[in-house]
Every structure is written in structure tokens, then in C-alpha cells.
């Protein structure tokens, strides 16, 4: 505060201290003088107690000769409340990650059944329990993958290239690709789809999914391994992804067109193309990428911004060729009549005798869960011990992670049977009731044809958009893309582009089942358009676009969409219900590259405008 005083011709200013300001300054001075940060924390009550280390450590004891007696460790005992308080923050975060991915989809499907289809399944409690098993299984599986399997991949990826010749490294990469395919959660959904195929309508499709199911997974795994080998060589030698895409598409499209003109093989096309979407899941991508990037880093070429891209793309394309070649081999060795006769004998024998305990649920799902993980773990352990001659560090933590992975896989398989597959199949069976008559649904068709058909297609579109937007791996890809393109392609832009591509792809796949459209004439033009866009796009956008197709097919989306497609195909009397997944894969490839070209065009226009403004300013400065 100031006070003005006037005495004659002189004016003086007197500063009067403000009481509030003085109080604050004095309080700050007192705090500065008397409070340390540690005292401040204790005053606030930070929620911890001080315990002397001497109280925890027993006194050193000696024997008669004066030598110290080794201390015997006392096992820490926790009460149930203490155990709960210890693991609650740890579990809740991981549990909620899976809840955010599963529950919105379940609620969306439930509301669509009640509000639009006006139906509610009587066994919805079983489906609810199955979805909870999916959440719990994925929680255990993903945590175990992080603690148990990923350390194997990291150690092998960092050590193997330095201690072994390149041919041996590539051979182990090939075997790893086979092993991780068997461990993919979505592979179980693919094998389970064979139970819904009619052998009379599609004998070769039935044979591949039943009699040849193990060979089918083996071929898919070999294809993934081959893709991992070529992707690793690409990291090593800096090859462009564009020529590899062109080379991979030539046999894929050729075999697809050939199979389309064979009445028996044309039903295989949807399965073959859907197999490419199943392979790029939470097990394959991290393990194979860690090995490939480790090899590139060992060669001094791991600092490229494109390191890690390409393997997912090749792992999506190579299995298609493998499955189509396997179908050709089966067609040359077995006739449709033989397949039908064997299938009828197998069904008759199964009806005549009760299946063994290991072939019944839930034992079948549990055994499949153990069989999926244990061979991969043994292979990784043998590589570590026999090839690298390395000891396993943090053995207890890694074994704990492997145990979690096996438990999670078993629980997930149960949830797949009673939750995702059942929910997808039930919804898929009811969706056509919106616009056509479906046996078993009393009120079908619920709406007139045009309205019901529009609602069904909008349902598929919204399902694809929402499921993709909630995919955790897509957020990581968006951040990588924004860094890779120096901000030209924003993370939000990528999320929207990929989600729109998947949404339109799933809607197109549903239209294929409703109108009985030949899948070949939807696939071939789409991939030819993708090839043209690839030729005009930069290397960065090509890598992101083609890899984005693999990111969108997670362990939840694949079983749900597969079961839904088979249910819709059954309700529409279609021969097979495959094809939705492959359309959901090509959609984001096209949408991301179109968005990338538009972003590059806008960036160019802005650069030209900035140059013009700068030139004009320089001209004015000269004048």
C-alpha cells in the first residue's frame, strides 16, 4: 500500500506494509525455515510406516569355532486381506484392459438382439459366463505372454544372431513361425468351424477342417515361418516391401482365380483368405518381430524407422497360398465321394459309441490349451540350452509366466466354446430374421425387406467400426505411424481410417453371404486396387497400410466374426460362411493408403503455399 502526503510544494510517498502480504511472506519464511520435504510428507501422512532393518534381520549366530551359521530364510506369511491388497492393483488394471475390449461388444450384440431383433437367447447366462471366461483367460494369457514367452523371444532375438550362422538363425525362425501359429488363440476357432460345414455341399472344405485340420494348421504355420524368414532378410538387407507384396500376390490371386472355376474348390477360397487373418495375433507378432529385429540389430541395421514392418503383411498373405495348395493336393488324392463316405462312417461311429473323456467338453478345451503352449515352450527352451548354451535367467518368474499362459489359454478355450462362438453363432443366425424368414424364428421377417436388410448391414458396419476402434494394438500402431511420417499422418487419422476400412469390409462380407456373391470377384478387384495404390504410395504409407490389416484381427474379433459368419451362412442356406474376415482385412489397406495419399497431397499444397508466401515476403523486402 502507498500513501500520498502533500506539504506545501513537496509531495512524498510513504509505503505502508499490507497486513495480508506481510502474513503470507512471514508464513512462507516460516515454512522455508522449518519444513523439509521429508517432514512435509510425514505431516501429510504418506501412508507408510518406518521399520528398522535390524528388526527384520536376525542377529548373526556363530558356531563353537566362531564361524557364522548360515541364515535360514523364513517364509513370509500373508493373511488373506494382505494378499488381496497386494494383488488387487496388479490384477484390476489387467482385468479392465480385457473388460474394455469384450464388454462393449457383448453389450452391443445384446442390445441389438433385444431392441432390433426382439429376441433373447434362453441360455444367455451361459454366454455371460463364457464371456467372463474369455476376459479372465485373456488376462492370464497376455500377462503370462509378457512374463514367460516374451523373455524367451527377447533373449533368443538378441543372442542367436551373434552366436550362430545366418542359415541356422533362419531355420530356427521358420520353426518358431510354426510353433507360434499353434499357440494362437484364434486357431481354435478356425478348427471349431469345421463342425458346422455340410460334407455333402462342400466336401473339400469339410475335409480340410476335420480330417486334415492338423495338416491345415501345420501348413499355415509353415507359411508364417516362411514369412518370418523373408521378413527377417528384409530387415537385414533393407529390401523394399513393395516388390515383396507384388511377388506374394501373384500366386495368391492366380490360385484364387483357378479355384473359382472349379465347382469343388471354390468353397475353399473363403477359408484360405480367412486363414491369413487368423495368423497375426498376440503370440505370432511379438515373438517373430522380436527375433527379426534382433537379427537386424545384430547386423547393425536395427535403427531404421521401418524396422518391424513387413512381417505381419507377409504372414497374412503366405498362408493363403499354403491353404490353396493344400486344397489342390487333397483334391488330387481324394474324391468328393470318398470324403463323404468317410465322413458318414465317422459320424455313425461317433453316434454308436460315447466319445472318450478327452474328446468331451470341458476336457477337450483344457487339453487343447496345454497342447498349444507346451510344444512352443519346449522348443524355445531347447534353442536356449542346446543352440545358445545359455542359462535361463529369472527362472521362477518365467515359469510363473508360462503357467499363467497355459491357464489363460485353457480358460480362453472354454470361453470360446460357451461365450464368443456361441454368441456369434446365435446373433449370426438371428440377423437374417430382420429381412427374411428364418426357420425357428416365429416372427421372421421382423421388418420389410429393405428396412431389415439396411439394419443388418448397419449392424455389421457398426460392429466392425467399434471393435476396431477398441483394439489396443491399433493405438500403438497409430503412435508409430505419427512418428514415422513426422506428423503428416496423425494417430487419430489412422484410427478412423482403419476403423472405417474394417467397417465397410465386414459389411461387404455380410453382403456376400446375403446375396450369395462369388468371393473371388470381391477379392480380386479389391487387391488389384490395393496394388495400384501401393504403386503410388510412399514406402512408409505402404508399410503402415498393409500391416494395419493384421493389427485389426485380434483374439476377440476373429472368433466372434467367424462364428457370426457361419451362423449367417447357415440361416441363409449358404454353402459356407467364410469370407467376412478377409474383406475386413483388405478394407483398411485401401482406406489407409487413400488417406495417406490425401495427407501427402495436402502436405504438398501447404508446402507450396508456404514457399509462395516466403517468396512474396522476400520480394517485398527487396522492394
What would the pLDDT profile of 403-413 be if each residue is shown by its tens digit? Answer: 998 898 889 88
What integer pLDDT is reported at residue 9 of this predicted model? 45
Per-residue pLDDT, averaged over 524-553, amounts to 86
Last residue of one domain, picked from the residues 324, 353, 382:
353
Give which of 418, 415, 428 is closest to 112, Cα–Cα: 428
Same domain, 411 and 444: no
**441 lies in the same domain as 536:** yes
Query: What pLDDT was estimated at residue 12?
Result: 47
pLDDT tens-digit profile of 417-458? 888 888 888 888 888 888 888 887 777 788 898 999 999 999
Q: Name the least confident of 30-39, 351-360, 537-546.
A: 30-39
Q: Are residues 173 and 285 in the same domain?
A: yes
**Same domain assignment for residues 445 and 462:** yes
pLDDT in the model for residue 62: 77
Residue 569 CA to residue 510 CA, distance in Å, equals 9
283 and 187, same domain (yes or no): yes
Identify whether residues 363 and 322 lie together within a single domain. Answer: no
Q: Look at residue 139 in the predicted model and tell me its pLDDT.
A: 87
Q: Is residue 275, in this structure, part of any structural domain at all? A: yes
479 and 540 part of one domain: yes
Enter the DSSP assignment of 196: G
Give residue-wise pLDDT tens across range 150-184: 777 777 777 777 778 888 888 888 888 888 887 77
What residue numbers bound the domain in which 617 lies?
435-555+564-623
Q: Is residue 241 part of a domain?
A: yes
Residue with the larger pLDDT of the pair 536 and 387: 536
End-to-end Cα distance, the chain: 54
Return the half-sphere exposure (C-beta side, CA atoms, 13 A cut-off) of residue 287: 32
Is residue 10 situated within a structural domain?
no
Residue 53 has pLDDT above 70, yes or no: no
Lowest mean pLDDT among 153-167, 258-272, 494-508: 153-167
pLDDT above 60 (res 39): yes
Hey, what's the torsion of the CAs at 243, 246, 251, 256, to 10 degrees? 160
- State whether 136 and 213 are in the same domain: no
| Percent above pLDDT 70 for the chain | 81
Domain count, the chain: 3
Asked which of 126-135, 190-199, 231-240, 245-254 is least confident by mean pLDDT, the reply is: 190-199
Q: If pLDDT is split at 50, 70 and 90, which confidence band does 15 have?
A: very low
Of 278-287, 309-318, 324-333, minimum mean pLDDT range: 278-287
Selection from 109-118, 376-385, 579-588 with the highest mean pLDDT = 579-588
Domain-embedded: residue 209? yes
Residue 129 lies in a domain: yes
Report d(CA 529, CA 549) in Å as an integer. 15
Within 13 Å, how many C-alpha atoms sit on residue 228's CB side?
A: 34
Residue 257 belongs to some domain of the structure = yes
Give per-residue pLDDT as tens, 68-125: 777 776 677 778 887 877 777 777 777 887 888 788 888 888 888 888 887 776 677 8
- On whether both 202 and 145 belong to a single domain, the answer is no
The pLDDT of residue 251 is: 94
Pair (441, 406) in one structural domain: no
Task: Please tell me whether residues 429 and 440 are part of one structural domain.
Answer: no
Establish if 75 belongs to a structural domain: no
Give residue 182's pLDDT.
77
Residues 413 and 444 in one domain: no
Give residue 11's pLDDT.
Answer: 46
Q: Which of 328, 353, 378 is the last residue of a domain?
A: 353
Q: According to the model, what pLDDT value does residue 59 have?
A: 72
Residue 308 located in a structural domain = yes
Query: Which pLDDT value is given to residue 191?
Result: 66
Domain boundary among 399, 434, 469: 434
User: Which pairs count as long-range contacts for 256-265, CB under 8 Å and 24+ apart, including other chains?
Assistant: 256/320, 256/324, 256/520, 256/523, 256/524, 257/520, 257/524, 259/324, 259/327, 259/328, 259/520, 260/518, 260/520, 262/331, 264/203, 264/204, 264/331, 264/336, 265/204, 265/327, 265/328, 265/331
The three three-digit cell numbers of residue 119, written as one number? 429376441
Amino acid at each position: 500500500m502507498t500513501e500520498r502526503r502533500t506539504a506545501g510544494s513537496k509531495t512524498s510517498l510513504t509505503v505502508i506494509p499490507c497486513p495480508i502480504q506481510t502474513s503470507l511472506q512471514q508464513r512462507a519464511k516460516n515454512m522455508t525455515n522449518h519444513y523439509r520435504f521429508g517432514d512435509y510428507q510425514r505431516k501429510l501422512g504418506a501412508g507408510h510406516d518406518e521399520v528398522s532393518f535390524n528388526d527384520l534381520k536376525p542377529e548373526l549366530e556363530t558356531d563353537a569355532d566362531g564361524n557364522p551359521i548360515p541364515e535360514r530364510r523364513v517364509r513370509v506369511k500373508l493373511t488373506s486381506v494382505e494378499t488381496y491388497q497386494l494383488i488387487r492393483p496388479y490384477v484390476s488394471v489387467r482385468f479392465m484392459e480385457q473388460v474394455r475390449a469384450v464388454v462393449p461388444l457383448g453389450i452391443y450384440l445384446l442390445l441389438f438382439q433385444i431392441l432390433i431383433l426382439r429376441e433373447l437367447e434362453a441360455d444367455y447366462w451361459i454366454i455371460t459366463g463364457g464371456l467372463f471366461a474369455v476376459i479372465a483367460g485373456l488376462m492370464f494369457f497376455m500377462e503370462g505372454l509378457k512374463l514367460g514367452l516374451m523373455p524367451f523371444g527377447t533373449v533368443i532375438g538378441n543372442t542367436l544372431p551373434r552366436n550362430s550362422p545366418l542359415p541356422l538363425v533362419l531355420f530356427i525362425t521358420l520353426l518358431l513361425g510354426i510353433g507360434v501359429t499353434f499357440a494362437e488363440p484364434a486357431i481354435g476357432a478356425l478348427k471349431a468351424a469345421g463342425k458346422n460345414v455340410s460334407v455333402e455341399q462342400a466336401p473339400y472344405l469339410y475335409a480340410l477342417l476335420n480330417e486334415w485340420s492338423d495338416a491345415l494348421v501345420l501348413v499355415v504355420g509353415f507359411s508364417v515361418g516362411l514369412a518370418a524368414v523373408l521378413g527377417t532378410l528384409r530387415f537385414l538387407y533393407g529390401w523394399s516391401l513393395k516388390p515383396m507384396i507384388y511377388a506374394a500376390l501373384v500366386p495368391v490371386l492366380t490360385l484364387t482365380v483357378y479355384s473359382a472355376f472349379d465347382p469343388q474348390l471354390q468353397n475353399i477360397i473363403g477359408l484360405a483368405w480367412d486363414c491369413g487373418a487368423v495368423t497375426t495375433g498376440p503370440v505370432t507378432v511379438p515373438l517373430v518381430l522380436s527375433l527379426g529385429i534382433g537379427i537386424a540389430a545384430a547386423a547393425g541395421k536395427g535403427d531404421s524407422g521401418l524396422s518391424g514392418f513387413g512381417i505381419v503383411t507377409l504372414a497374412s498373405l503366405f498362408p493363403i497360398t499354403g491353404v490353396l495348395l493344400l486344397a489342390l493336393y487333397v483334391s488330387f488324392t481324394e474324391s468328393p465321394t470318398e470324403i463323404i463316405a468317410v465322413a458318414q462312417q465317422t459320424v455313425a461311429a461317433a453316434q454308436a459309441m460315447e466319445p472318450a473323456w478327452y474328446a468331451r467338453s470341458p476336457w477337450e478345451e483344457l487339453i487343447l490349451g496345454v497342447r498349444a503352449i507346451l510344444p512352443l515352450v519346449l522348443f524355445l527352451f531347447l534353442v536356449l540350452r542346446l543352440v545358445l548354451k545359455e542359462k535361463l535367467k529369472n527362472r521362477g518368474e518365467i515359469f510363473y509366466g508360462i503357467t499363467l499362459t497355459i491357464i489363460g489359454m485353457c480358460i480362453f478355450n472354454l470361453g470360446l466354446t460357451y461365450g464368443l462362438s456361441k454368441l456369434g453363432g446365435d446373433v449370426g443366425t438371428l440377423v437374417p430374421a430382420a429381412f427374411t424368414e428364418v426357420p425357428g424364428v416365429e416372427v421372421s421377417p421382423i421388418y420389410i425387406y429393405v428396412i431389415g436388410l439396411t439394419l443388418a448391414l448397419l449392424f455389421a458396419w457398426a460392429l466392425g467400426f467399434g471393435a476396431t476402434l477398441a483394439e489396443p494394438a491399433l493405438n500403438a500402431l497409430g503412435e508409430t505411424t505419427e512418428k514415422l511420417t513426422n506428423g503428416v499422418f496423425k494417430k487419430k487419422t489412422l484410427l478412423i481410417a482403419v476403423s472405417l476400412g474394417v467397417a465397410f469390409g465386414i459389411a461387404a462380407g455380410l453382403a456376400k453371404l446375403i446375396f450369395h456373391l462369388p468371393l473371388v470377384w470381391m477379392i480380386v478387384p479389391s487387391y488389384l486396387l490395393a496394388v495400384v495404390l501401393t504403386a503410388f504410395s510412399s514406402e512408409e504409407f505402404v508399410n503402415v497400410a498393409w500391416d494395419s490389416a493384421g493389427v485389426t484381427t485380434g483374439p476377440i474379433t476373429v472368433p466372434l466374426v467367424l462364428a457370426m459368419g457361419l451362423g449367417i451362412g447357415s440361416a441363409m442356406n449358404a454353402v459356407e460362411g467364410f469370407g467376412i474376415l478377409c474383406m475386413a482385412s483388405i478394407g483398411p489397406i485401401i482406406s489407409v493408403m487413400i488417406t495417406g495419399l490425401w495427407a501427402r497431397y495436402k502436405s504438398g499444397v501447404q508446402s507450396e503455399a508456404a514457399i509462395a508466401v516466403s517468396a512474396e515476403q522476400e520480394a517485398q523486402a527487396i522492394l
